[in-house]
Structure 1
C-alpha cells in the first residue's frame, strides 16, 4: 500500500479557528487531520509554533485546501451586507435570514434591498 504524504495547510493559536478550518475542508469532502490540539501546555518546553493547533491534508489536496481556507477566512470575498425588506434591519452578508423578524433574504439579492436601501 502506498504511503500518502501529508502537509500542513493551516496553523493558529486559536483551537476553535483550527477546528473551523478543518470543518470547512471536511464539508468540501476533503480528508484532513487536526493535530496538536492539546500541545498548548508544552509551549516553552517545545517551540511555540510547533504547539499550535494545525490542519493537515494529503499533499495532492494542498492547493485546493489553501484556496478553500482563504475563501472561508477572507470576509472581503463574502456576500455584501443587506437590509431586511420586512423590518428594515441592517444585516451582515453572512446571514441569509433576518435575526429580528426571521424573514429570509430575497432570492438573488446580493446587497441592500428593501425599505431604506440606498438607490
Structure 2
C-alpha cells in the first residue's frame, strides 16, 4: 500500500550541479526534495554513465506540482535540436543519432 508521503522520482539530472539547482528551484515552491545518487559522481568511469545520474525525488503528494515546475525548466533549457528517446525517455544532444543510454537509433 502506498502512502501520500512516499517519495517518487520525477527527474534524472545530468549531474550534481543541475540536481542541486533544481532542488533549490523546487524548494522555492515548498517542495521537499531528496537527491539519490549524488555521491556516485566520483565513480564516473568505473560504473556506466546512466547509473550515476542524480535522481530527484519528491513526496508523491507533490508530484504534479514538481513535474509542472520541471517541465517549465526543461522547455526553457533544452536546445531546440535535442531529442527524447522513445525507448527510455532520456534526452540526447543534437549530435547523437543513437541514444547514449539505451543505444536505440533516433
1:61 aligns with 2:62: yes
Partner of 1:104: none
- The DSSP-based 3-state class of the residue aligned with 1:39 is helix
- The DSSP-based 3-state class of the residue aligned with 2:39 is coil
Count residues with an aligned counterpart.
75
Unaligned ranges ≥5, structure 2 = 78-106
CA deviation profile, 1:50-72 (whole Å, cap 9, x unmatched) = 32112110112111101011113
State whether residues 24 and 72 of structure 1, in contact with CA within 8 Å, keep that contact through their aligned partners in structure 2. Answer: no
Work out which of the two has the higher radius of gyration on C-alpha atoms and give 1 or 2: 1
**Range with greater deviation from structure 2 (32-41 or 22-31):** 32-41
Structure with greater proportional helix content? 2
Unaligned ranges ≥5, structure 1 = 77-119
Q: List aligned pairs for 1:98-109, cutoff 5 A.
A: none
Judged with a 3 Å threshold, the aligned counterparts in structure 2 of structure 1 residues 62 and 3 are, in CA distance, closer, same or farther, namely closer
- The DSSP-based 3-state class of the residue aligned with 1:20 is helix
TM-align CA RMSD? 2.4
TM-score, structure 1 as length reference: 0.52
Judged with a 3 Å threshold, the aligned counterparts in structure 2 of structure 1 residues 37 and 43 are, in CA distance, closer, same or farther, namely same
Partner of 1:4: 5
Q: More relative contact order in 1 or in 2 (CA 8 Å, sep 6+)?
A: 2
- The DSSP-based 3-state class of the residue aligned with 1:67 is helix
Distance 2:29 2:69 in 1: 8
- The DSSP-based 3-state class of the residue aligned with 2:10 is strand
Distance 2:4 2:65 in 1: 20
